[in-house]
Amino acid sequence: MRSEYANNKETLFHGAEERANVSAAVIRRLPRYFRYLRELIRQGKMRISSNELAKMMNVTASQIRQDLNCFGGFGQQGYGYNVNYLYARICDLLGVGAGIHAIIIGAGDLGRALVRAPMFEKRGVDIVSMFDVDPALIGRSVGGVKIRDMKELEDFCAEIPVDMAVLTLPKEVAHEVSERLTKCGIRGLWNFTGKDLALDPAQVTVENVHLGDSLMILNYKLCQKQTDSEAL
């Protein structure tokens, strides 16, 4: 199974080299296109102009055209965008349907909440296992996914194809575990530990998630509004 997967790696991540020069800002807007286009499909919308899409997303039509031109455009002047086609292309860019396999490291409250979330299935990511060191958790299943002993990690990854690991373990062991995962050939880490991981980008891509940062930004905005209203 591992060898068959290895032979398909180029197909699985086709075009990654061509997208290497696309700015991080554009990439971070792609999931928004995914969400809005999916909603348009649910509404039965077949075609949309950049101006219409811009009003929905609260950006400029020029920004949308510039973003999509980074990947070839996808639109026709005087016609706009075919919603289904554009959605399919955005899905391709985001790896939806690429058969990405993921594991969750850490079966605590956050790990168990994430494995039950529908977002993985909706975005084409298959959670194939969870791992933990707690004997009370090992062997249990959460959301249909088995929790395995961390001692089994290397053997599991040698047998089952894994592209991504979701880290919900204590930050004190995050770097040690991330190095183990990289040696297993895992190429993407979604890191919820609260510790930024600085690893070789040629080997692994890390998305550091800080939920507390998002909360504090909201706090700032609330306080700023309060300050502004008191100044009036």
What CATH class is the domain 11-93?
Answer: mainly alpha
Q: Rounded to whole angstroms, how far apart are CA atoms 194 and 211?
A: 8
Q: Rounded to whole angstroms, how far apart are CA atoms 152 and 169?
A: 16
pLDDT in tens, 10-66: 444 444 544 557 898 999 999 999 999 999 999 999 999 999 999 999 999 999 999
Q: Do residues 75 and 139 touch, judged by C-beta distance below 8 A? A: no
pLDDT for res 78 = 66
Domain ranges of the chain: 11-93, 100-213
pLDDT for res 48 = 94
Look at 49-53, 127-131, 194-198, 228-232 and tell me which has the smallest mean pLDDT: 228-232
pLDDT for res 225 = 76
The angle at the Cα of 109, spanning 220 to 132, to the nearest 5 degrees, equals 125
pLDDT in tens, 184-226: 999 999 999 999 998 888 899 999 999 999 999 999 999 987 7
Average pLDDT over residues 124-145: 97
Q: Do residues 193 and 170 touch, judged by C-beta distance below 8 A? A: yes
Distances (CA, A) of 96 to 11, 28, 124, 167, 172: 13, 15, 5, 21, 32
CATH number of 100-213: 3.40.50.720
Band of residue 3 on the pLDDT scale cut at 50, 70, 90: very low
User: How, if at all, do strands 145-149 and 125-132 pair?
Assistant: parallel
Per cent of the chain over pLDDT 90 is 77
Residue 8 pLDDT > 50 = no
Q: Rounded to whole angstroms, how far apart are CA atoms 181 and 63?
A: 38
Dihedral, CA atoms, 193, 99, 154, 187, nearest 10 degrees? -60
